[in-house]
Amino acid sequence: MHIFNSLSRKKEVFLPIHPNHVGMYVCGPTVYGDAHLGHARPAITFDLVFRYFRHLGYKVRYVRNITDVGHLENDADEGEDKIARKARLEQLEPMEVVQYYTVRYHKNMDQLNVLRPSIEPHASGHIIEQIEMIKKILAAGYAYESDGSVYFDVEKYNQTHPYGILSGRKIDELISNTRELSGQNEKRNSFDFAIWKKADPTHIMRWPSPWGDGFPGWHMECSAMGCKYLGEQFDIHGGGMDLLFPHHESEIAQSTVANGKPPVRYWMHNNMITLNGQKMGKSLGNAMSLDDIFTGNHPLLAQAYSPMTIRFFILQAHYRSTLDFSNEALQAAEKGLKKLLFADETVKKLKPATGAASQNIEAIAKACYDAMNDDFSSPMAIASLFEAVKLINAANDGHLKLNPNDLELLKQLMDVFLFDILGLRAEDAGTDHHLVEGLMETIIGLRQEARARKDFATSDLIRDGLAKLNIVLKDGKEGTSWEMK
């Protein structure tokens, strides 16, 4: 198993700290707005990692936080954080905002068949842990208090540790490149970052601390909660590439100082989803919410795309590549997914041909595993699954015979990869199968009778009528089958 480690910018052999156990922390959403397509990418990427490690037999503790404090906005309202601002504008308790969007986030993730993490800690529930960590950093001499806020002393840290180890930044470049921001007079250097921020009297999210009322700096929560649930050093930390600097860089610095060792062995970063070649982001105003996509309710959408189409679309690109949104690409994904899922239905109905020559299904399975073991290359694994689809359909058409062993291997391969590892699922789940099956059987029977009489007007009337309900009939040698479009 090889993982691309952002720290070394190389693929490295994965060796867990504790054999057969994986500790993984992933930066979750800031719950002040609906989840957009961009949020789906890390959720699905690390869901894939989570699922694959579990499939391999690892015991995984997967921690993904909910950010519900901090994240200062620097532009419009100085020193206010996102959730507080949203709450004030909508006349709500901050925790009402948090609850509302957390519930909606969970709904979207469930739709995408993203498994819930092992632990989903809220930053607001770990203020004490964050304060304790700040104390440790102060005690170690790597932070200073200034007017009720506490800042991390980047320059001092850089004398003994490489600040910029993750992002490739150099401290002297930071000096010349940092923009003028308010509150800098409180800092010794412009690139020092707040680990505790004083709350002004109007700030509605605030907690008492040894330095006065305030709230934790925006990198603290991940350091504190990662350490609490996964230990001072853990295996994998994931998140979007846009978090590399300063968020993850600062996390490394804080944790290293507080605990005396670097916190993470393997850093994994998913790339961005782009729209017309540009990053999709809430602050850029070009983000599409997942609900928009699922309902087709957006000017750029030619149609609605189902959650599984989105999931498959994302899995068809490697997580470290940018992925450009377009209707064409999504429509292709929709059809490809359908083809895979339909082949899985088909393979279950195939009859084995005893004595048929072996088709070397093991080679396909091996290709799937090799792909996953090579930095979770889901696109390669999917390409191999299409090889399997070819065999299944050929067998279904009678061009190919599958011996019992091959057939069993194919069934397992499809089931394991499509559902357990890639986390796909058939989308018509939820309809009343028993009733629908019965109705369809009757309708198809009537149509069959009409066709036998060569009454094609009637048979086409039935087929067209069903087509309006998105039910597609397929006349095959073994009779007529149907599927929901």
Q: How far is the CB of 322 from RNA (least distance, A)?
A: 6
8 A C-beta contact, residue 330 and residue 305: yes
The closest alpha carbon to 123, from 234, 257, 216, 210, belongs to 216
With CB under 7 A as the contact rule, the residue among 394, 416, 426, 436 that binds RNA is 394
Place of tokens 């399997």: 388
Q: Decide: helix, strand or coil at residue 264.
A: strand
8 A C-beta contact, residue 304 and residue 296: yes
Q: Which stretch, 85-93, 197-205, 283-291, 412-420, contacts RNA (CB under 7 A)?
A: 283-291
278 exposed, middle or buried (CB, 10 Å; 0-12, 13-18, 19+)? exposed
Considering only residues 196 to 235 of the shown chain, the ones binding RNA according to CB under 7 A are 218
Nearer to RNA, 16 or 127 (CB): 127
What is the per-residue binding string for RNA in 51-90, x denoting contact by CB under 7 A? ----------------x---xxxxx------x--------
Nearer to RNA, 245 or 294 (CB): 245
- Tell me how far apart the alpha carbons of residues 430 and 246 are, in angstroms, rounded to a whole number: 44
How long is the chain?
485
8 A C-beta contact, residue 419 and residue 425: yes
Please report whether residue 396 would count as binding RNA according to CB under 7 A: yes
What is the per-residue binding string for RNA in 27-56, x denoting contact by CB under 7 A? x-xx------xxx-xx--------------
Considering only residues 421 to 460 of the shown chain, the ones binding RNA according to CB under 7 A are 451, 456, 459-460
What is the per-residue binding string for RNA in 352-391, x denoting contact by CB under 7 A? -------------------------x-xx-xx--xx-xx-
Nearer to RNA, 73 or 213 (CB): 73
Which residue type does 65 have? N
Structure tokens at 380: 């390669």
Nearer to RNA, 16 or 122 (CB): 122
The closest alpha carbon to 161, from 27, 268, 267, 258, belongs to 258
Q: Which stretch, 225-233, 413-421, 434-442, 468-476, contacts RNA (CB under 7 A)?
A: 468-476
Structure tokens at 13: 């052999």
Q: How far is the CB of 18 from RNA (least distance, A)?
A: 27
Considering only residues 316 to 345 of the shown chain, the ones binding RNA according to CB under 7 A are 316-318, 321-324, 326, 328-329, 331-333, 335-336, 339, 342
Q: How far is the CB of 309 from RNA (least distance, A)?
A: 11
128 exposed, middle or buried (CB, 10 Å; 0-12, 13-18, 19+)? exposed
Nearer to RNA, 93 or 173 (CB): 173
Q: How far is the CB of 140 from RNA (least distance, A)?
A: 23
Considering only residues 234 to 273 of the shown chain, the ones binding RNA according to CB under 7 A are 239-247, 270, 272-273
Please report whether residue 106 would count as binding RNA according to CB under 7 A: no
Please report whether residue 132 would count as binding RNA according to CB under 7 A: no
- Tell me how far apart the alpha carbons of residues 462 and 444 are, in angstroms, rounded to a whole number: 9
92 exposed, middle or buried (CB, 10 Å; 0-12, 13-18, 19+)? middle
Preceding peptide of 352 cis, ω within 30°: no
Q: How far is the CB of 59 from RNA (least distance, A)?
A: 25
**Residues contacting RNA: total by CB under 7 A:** 90
Nearer to RNA, 167 or 403 (CB): 167
- Tell me how far apart the alpha carbons of residues 179 and 175 are, in angstroms, rounded to a whole number: 9
Place of tokens 């950010």: 67
